Structure 1
Amino acid sequence: MSDLPILGAALTVPSLETHRELMLDKQRDLELQDFCSSEILNGDWRPIVEKALALLDGHTGRLGIHGPFMGFTISPVDTDIREIVKKRMSQGLDICEALGASQMVVHSPYSTWDHHNLGLYDHGHERKIELCHLAMADAVKRAENIGCELVIENIEDIDPYARIELAESFGSEAVKISIDTGHAYYAHGSTGAPPVDCYVIAAGNRLRHVHLQDADGYADRHWTLGEGTINWYSVFGALAKLDSKPRLITELRDPAGLPASIANMEALGLAQ
């Protein structure tokens, strides 16, 4: 049992308060998810940070946040929107610095439409990457300076290699890969993408973060682990071959399912 990977969790501060004892029992990695909306980012978020730090007294697991993503992509064509993306990324890194967080999740810009259409345009793929650099270069530099990783999470991605190419194009150790198991399973079941374990295999040791959620291959369910139909043996089998020690973050629509998720993976002999 002690050799099994330890599951962390994605929680808001109120949910952290509920599950604090569970998070401390094995010093589980934590991703705080309070800082995605513009209302929080443009308001006074410091009391939320202070409450989180108080709850994390004695916590030695790795700490990250889910970065801003609502209402935009990191590859905007519109120059005005690009400035908003830069602002949101800067705000997210402000919070990372205040928390001492070492990782921020950023959403992939690749859509289902992109997969089928970028190749029809001259330099379509190169232009997509260029747009991301225009929006993200400042954030990448700052992440390097404060010791924070930006991990790019698959959303609609059909090709698991597209955002790997994007991440590597920055030439920075501060830009790595995240996988969301439910997003990958949705893409596999509904848009013809490879199975979930293939996303892990493609990322290899570039993988530093995983959102673990169960699903049915039709939609983005965020069910308790064990309640859907993801082949967890194949996913954890692929993860076991990595040396990068990605954070295994259970991300549920209802955080009340966190203890059951851990218990179900323990029962399968896959995690603790």
Structure 2
Amino acid sequence: MLPLKIGACLRISEIADHRDWLFDAQRDIELQDFMTHTALGDERADRIAAARAALAGHGGRVGIHGPYEGLDIDNKDAELRPLITARFLRALEAAEAIGARQMVLHSPYRAWYQNNKLASPGYAETKQARIHTVLGPVVKRAEEAGITIVIENIEDVDPATRRALVDSFASPAIGLSIDTGHAQLARRMSGAPPVDYFVRDAGAQLAHVHLQDVDGHADRHWPPGEGEIEWAAVFRALADCTAAPHLVLELHNKSHIPQGFAYLKRLGLVE
């Protein structure tokens, strides 16, 4: 039922700028300080301590964005796959240490996959097997920690493909994430369905949503209202969802969080 409560993606150092808005309503927070090799190496302990301090007194839900640059969960190199798994496990340890209950990872499905999945026998199955090799230990550890891995659409064309991947793990520790801007870009570039269709297809598997607006050309991460996304349709679909996904504004300019929130609130979609 509308309106829905939303939060934001922030770095640890940015929480203080939005503390009253976040903490008074116990809004969802996604920390984006644990995505790089450095952040998960020598700096990890300091970042964990800083996150704990910044989150003190917050009673809402917390997640982190996991690492992704150069870390394809469908890596074809058998020597590299264990390194990717290890990096994800390091990030999962950080999530557990700060009390986070979600970790976002990026989807490996792109337009190339959509156009080639039936071009050769076993193409889809082989790809999924590689993904299981990389993510299997991560999902198992997430189960033990009570954390959900959420797979975010990047260039995904058919939302059912990612849903089938999540279903293939048969685990409560892996679910779906939707980035509204990425879905809209896939609609413009590759003929994907509208953003609200991504939400409705995800159904009970939907655990997390990045809210950002785009112009249909680039990954703008603008506040809602500055781009072309049909926000009323998106939030009607979210209101019908049987799950309770984390809903977070993911904006390049964090000073625009109040603007994006105010726009959605004027439409009666958020509180």
TM over 0.5: yes
Q: Could you tell me which residue of structure 2 aligns to residue 94 of structure 1?
A: 93
Q: Secondary structure at the match of 1:137?
A: helix
Q: Which moved more, 1:15-24 or 1:91-100?
A: 15-24
Q: Is the 8 A contact 1:20 1:55 kept in 2?
A: no
- Following superposition, the deviation at residue 246 of structure 1 comes to 0.6
Q: Is the 8 A contact 1:104 1:150 kept in 2?
A: yes
Q: What are the equivalent positions in structure 2 for 1:12-91 lying under 5 Å apart?
A: 12-91=11-90
Q: Which amino acid aligns with 1:82?
A: R
Q: Secondary structure at the match of 2:38?
A: helix
Q: Secondary structure at the match of 1:98?
A: helix
**Residue 183, structure 1, aligned to residue 182, structure 2:** yes
- Following superposition, the deviation at residue 56 of structure 1 comes to 1.3
Quick one: distance in 1 between partners of 2:140 and 2:61?
A: 22
Q: Which amino acid aligns with 1:245?
A: A
**Residue 265, structure 1, aligned to residue 264, structure 2:** yes
Q: Which amino acid aligns with 1:141?
A: K
- Following superposition, the deviation at residue 123 of structure 1 comes to 1.0
Q: Which runs of 5+ in 2 are unaligned?
A: none
CA deviations over 1:176-208 (Å, ceiling 9, x no partner)? 101000000000011111110110011011101
- Following superposition, the deviation at residue 17 of structure 1 comes to 2.2
**Residue 256, structure 1, aligned to residue 255, structure 2:** yes
Q: Is the 8 A contact 2:176 2:206 kept in 1?
A: yes
Q: Is the 8 A contact 1:106 1:152 kept in 2?
A: yes
Q: What are the equivalent positions in structure 2 for 1:122-137 lying under 5 Å apart?
A: 122-137=121-136
Q: Is the 8 A contact 1:64 1:104 kept in 2?
A: yes
**Residue 111, structure 1, aligned to residue 118, structure 2:** no
Q: Is the 8 A contact 1:187 1:193 kept in 2?
A: yes
The size of the alignment, in residue pairs, is 271
Q: Which amino acid aligns with 2:27?
A: R
Quick one: distance in 2 between partners of 1:130 and 1:212?
A: 31
Q: Which runs of 5+ in 1 are unaligned?
A: none
CA deviations over 1:108-151 (Å, ceiling 9, x no partner)? 01122111112212111111110100111100100000000001
TM-score normalised by the chain length of structure 1: 0.97
Q: Equivalent pairs: percent with the same residue?
A: 44
TM-score normalised by the chain length of structure 2: 0.97
Q: Could you tell me which residue of structure 2 aligns to residue 199 of structure 1?
A: 198
Quick one: distance in 1 between partners of 2:251 and 2:107?
A: 20
Q: Secondary structure at the match of 1:150?
A: strand
Q: Is the 8 A contact 2:9 2:249 kept in 1?
A: yes
The runs of at least 4 consecutive aligned structure 1 residues that moved more than 3 Å come to none
